[in-house]
Structure 1
């Protein structure tokens, strides 16, 4: 078990991040025409709008919540007057809210992808696989809230923060020790999150790395009305 923990939480995160960054770089360099979300709005738009908007609201809230929640040093939280107990309650409340919003939207998108014949016919195996990976990760995250409610002192959350911050500073031994005795559901959540990094460059998720910022400074198009003589 010790060897598995060392690999899963001390080595695998670096493998996953390397695959994500190098794979995304190679794909953008060699296959730019595939660097897109491959929208199926022309085939069906009603269910897409119903699912896509809450999904994106939820996933963005979850992403930034994890990003700042795990990687912000504990000293900064102390300066803000936020104790581990307060941070735990905030994480449960915000994570639960955005998780349920995301769950609602993702459920609609999965149903649309699987049971609409036109959408299913244009879907790749990776399109379906990535939806189920996200779904499993989301369900694990929601279930982890029930575990967190059993210990509101924030102790396990502090261990997960220590793991994430030491992984980012390449202190893998400290990271593995920190996460060693946390609840298994948090370990599964972390491991599946790393697996999403592995799948990232091979899926439509790569569109997350592109933002149309050039539109802000692009010259306006001049459209002249054609007058009928």
Structure 2
């Protein structure tokens, strides 16, 4: 194994993961006001509504599918009685549907950002880069999920590439700090490109608006109710007294109009 392969499958992934972790720590420590993305809803609403809603759900399921394929060893599925054929059939159909949804949505957001002048002029460079990179990652993932299977069937190859025996163990070996780069050297090019583009996205993640993915609003579950003050306290008091007594008087109706 040469130095270039060592860089691609050991050094570069570790640099990306280190940047991912330390970048988030730095951003949270020194840029909490910029943690959440700037809303562009006032500039354009319709495309944003569909793009953001479906993209979030699509990426959530994409993330779940990658956890199932990379972090869960193949032996676990076989012990559960899930055959390799059934797993690949599920990953093909489910991955295709989810991937198409995510692809359409990221296309909408990219077109919105590039071709609506008001959005383009109010967008930071890093957002253009990360949105475009997200598009590349999803396109390569779709090519690996669907395109490679079409290639295998077209050329009647004897065996389909099993990423759970190669990419999965390689990725887990990085987390164990015992890298096995030789597992990635013989992987098909489309899988290699998808993997490298994903690690590049991890490296840029902390410096973009993608950091808000970790801002789960759990605080709202335990937050006390917000108290609102009326502009006409006397009218509010009169109305509350009438409500409690079960009566509605002309004075109350008048106070509502005044308030």
TM-score, length basis structure 2: 0.82
CA distance in 2, matches of 1:155, 1:63: 19
CA distance in 1, matches of 2:163, 2:149: 8
Post-superposition offset of 1:102: 0.6
CA distance in 2, matches of 1:167, 1:77: 22
Larger RCO, structures 1/2 (Cα 8 Å, 6+ apart)? 1
CA distance in 2, matches of 1:208, 1:51: 16
* CA RMSD of superposed structures (Å): 1.8
Structure 1 unaligned regions, length at least 5: none
Residue deviations 1:4-30 (CA, integer Å, cap 9, x gap): 221111121111010011011011101
- Matched with 1:156 is 163
Q: How does 1:71-90 map to 2 (within 5 A)?
A: 71-90=71-90
- Matched with 1:196 is 201
Decide which moves more: 36-45 or 24-33. 36-45
TM-score, length basis structure 1: 0.92
Match status 1:28 vs 2:28: yes
After superposition, the Cα gap between the structure-2 partners of 1:84 and 1:169, relative to the gap in structure 1 and judged at 3 Å, is farther
CA distance in 2, matches of 1:100, 1:141: 10
Q: 2:225 aligns with which of 210, 214, 220?
A: 220
> Is the 2:166–2:183 contact (alpha carbons within 8 Å) kept by the matching residues of 1?
yes
- Matched with 2:213 is 208
Post-superposition offset of 1:53: 1.5
CA distance in 2, matches of 1:81, 1:55: 33
Post-superposition offset of 1:68: 2.5
> Is the 1:17–1:197 contact (alpha carbons within 8 Å) kept by the matching residues of 2?
yes
CA distance in 1, matches of 2:219, 2:108: 32
> Is the 2:43–2:118 contact (alpha carbons within 8 Å) kept by the matching residues of 1?
yes
Post-superposition offset of 1:76: 1.9
> Is the 2:130–2:208 contact (alpha carbons within 8 Å) kept by the matching residues of 1?
yes
CA distance in 2, matches of 1:2, 1:134: 30
> Is the 1:85–1:153 contact (alpha carbons within 8 Å) kept by the matching residues of 2?
no
Post-superposition offset of 1:155: 2.3
Post-superposition offset of 1:153: 4.7
> Is the 1:71–1:161 contact (alpha carbons within 8 Å) kept by the matching residues of 2?
yes
Q: How does 1:1-229 map to 2 (within 5 A)?
A: 2-145=2-145, 146-149=147-150, 150=152, 153=160, 155-172=162-179, 174=180, 176-223=181-228, 226=232, 227=235, 228=255
CA distance in 2, matches of 1:86, 1:70: 17
Decide which moves more: 127-136 or 216-225. 216-225
Structure 2 unaligned regions, length at least 5: 236-254
SS of the residue corresponding to residue 155 of structure 1 reads coil
> Is the 2:149–2:160 contact (alpha carbons within 8 Å) kept by the matching residues of 1?
no
Residue deviations 1:94-141 (CA, integer Å, cap 9, x gap): 211111001111111111111111111110111111110000111111
CA distance in 1, matches of 2:104, 2:115: 17
CA distance in 2, matches of 1:214, 1:128: 31
CA distance in 2, matches of 1:7, 1:179: 12
